[in-house]
Structure 1
Amino acid sequence: MVLTLYGHSYATCTQRVAVVLLEKKVPFNFVVVDLAKGEHKTPEYLTKQPFGVIPYIDDDGFILYESRAISRYIAEKYADQGRKLIPTDLKEKALFEQAASVEYANFETNASTVVAEKVFKPLFHKVQPDEKLFEKHNEILKAKLDVYDKILAKQKYLAGDELTVADLFHLPVGAHLKAAGSDVLETRPNVARWWKELTELPSWIEVQTGIKPSYAYA
């Protein structure tokens, strides 16, 4: 049975999973969850994702939610195909887990607020952004990315010299930062080099054009 991804093509967490599936060349079907109709809050949906958010996967009856957990699962289950995205060596994997924690604790928590205030609130909720909240988290993000720049001066990616899902985790929210009025990814040389490479990945370009109903590989 082909793995099925349930989500929305332009939702950040769905995109996070889709780019990993494409990097790993995993055949999958994509089912759109209509958020406007509240399909993510129906009793049937809540049996799969009890928090009523997207995405989740059904891998031949195995249900898994939370985009980062799904991404790790895919990368490890399909370790021998596509690009290797999680190291197997103990110390290299520890450095990967460190990088993944850095993304969630330092980047996501601040970047998501910046994007929510300036992009998602006006677009989806017709609410004016909280400028003070935007400025606060954008300043924090600047300081965090100053540290990123030092790390990336010594290595190509956050966990070392090989791309991992820790790098890919940044893409969906980071892609909205410029539209939010934040240039934090472009004004630090090593971050800018890293970010350019990530955003030019064919898998990410494919995801941004819209996730297709199905993907199959020879």
Structure 2
Amino acid sequence: MVLKLYGSRLTTATPTVEVVLIEKKIPYEFIEVNLFLFPDVAEHKTVAYKENHPFGKAFSVKSDVRATALFEQAVSIETTEFSPSAHKVEHMLSDILLGVPFNQAKFDVAIAGFSGTLDGYETILGKHRYLAGDELTLADLFHLPSAGRITQAGSNIVSTKGPNVARRWNEISSRESWKQVQDMVPDVLKTLKP
């Protein structure tokens, strides 16, 4: 489904959105909204238009409210559940860079906590392919750097925790964009091991 951009090129807001869409090579369908009729009949003030933009503003992007809610939930889960437990493991790698000796017991405790977080992920991913549904979203990609560092630290937990967590990790970590980012990682991090 192609993105639908409702707006008027007579405003500055719509061209701002269009330049970003073009820059990012995101295909879209432009739907002109007549803003400059008499206020009582301006298209952006009609009931039909307000179904897409309840405030009747100059532009809107029609979206699937449920998909948006699932995406917001997935980002929240990454921020409040995944990142805090993953960062405990990541910080141990940072400590090594600073000359702090590796503490295996502390590492094991951090991995155990992270494992508990992945139990929740296993449940979510048992219901759909990715965190926000059956399509890949930014919420899934946000996990790559931290999970990659945990793998680099010597833990295979993201590829063995459960079938759904492993499937998702294998899918997202094999994406060409992630491979390109991995190639840009500083050498000091590529060779860093506990």
Superposition TM-score tier, normalisation by shorter sequence: 0.5 to 0.7
Measure how far apart 1:202 and its partner are. Answer: 0.7
Describe the superposition over 1:44-64 as per-residue Cα deviations: whole angstroms up to 9, x where unpaired. xxxxxxxxxxxxxxxxxxxxx
Describe the superposition over 1:46-97 as per-residue Cα deviations: whole angstroms up to 9, x where unpaired. xxxxxxxxxxxxxxxxxxxxxxxxxxxx9xx53983599xx93112111101
In the alignment, residue 156 of structure 2 is paired with which amino acid? D
Measure how far apart 1:153 and its partner are. Answer: 1.5
Q: Where in structure 1 are there 5+ consecutive unaligned residues?
A: 1-73, 212-218
Q: How does 1:89-104 map to 2 (within 5 A)?
A: 89-104=64-79
Q: Where in structure 2 are there 5+ consecutive unaligned residues?
A: 1-16, 29-61, 186-194
- The answer to which structure, 1 or 2, has the higher relative contact order (CA under 8 A, 6+ apart) is 1
Q: How many residue pairs end up in the alignment?
A: 132
TM-score by length of 1: 0.54
Describe the superposition over 1:160-204 as per-residue Cα deviations: whole angstroms up to 9, x where unpaired. 001111000000111011222322201111111100110111111
- 2:96 aligned with 1:152: no
Match of 1:33 in 2: none
Secondary structure of the 1:176 match is: helix
TM-score by length of 2: 0.61
Say what the alpha-carbon RMSD is for the aligned residues: 2.6
Match of 1:81 in 2: 25
Q: Which has the larger radius of gyration?
A: 2
Secondary structure of the 1:95 match is: helix
Q: How does 1:119-158 map to 2 (within 5 A)?
A: 119-122=93-96, 124-158=97-131
- Could you tell me whether the CA contact under 8 Å between 1:115 and 1:177 is conserved in 2? yes
Secondary structure of the 2:71 match is: helix
- Partner Cα separation in structure 1 for residue 169 and residue 63 of structure 2: 25
* Range 202-211 or range 150-159, more displaced: 202-211
- Could you tell me whether the CA contact under 8 Å between 1:107 and 1:141 is conserved in 2? yes
Q: Could you tell me the percent identity over the aligned residues?
A: 38
- 2:146 aligned with 1:180: no
More helix by share: 2
Q: Which runs of 4+ in 1 moved over 2 A?
A: 77-84, 129-137
- Could you tell me whether the CA contact under 8 Å between 1:106 and 1:141 is conserved in 2? no
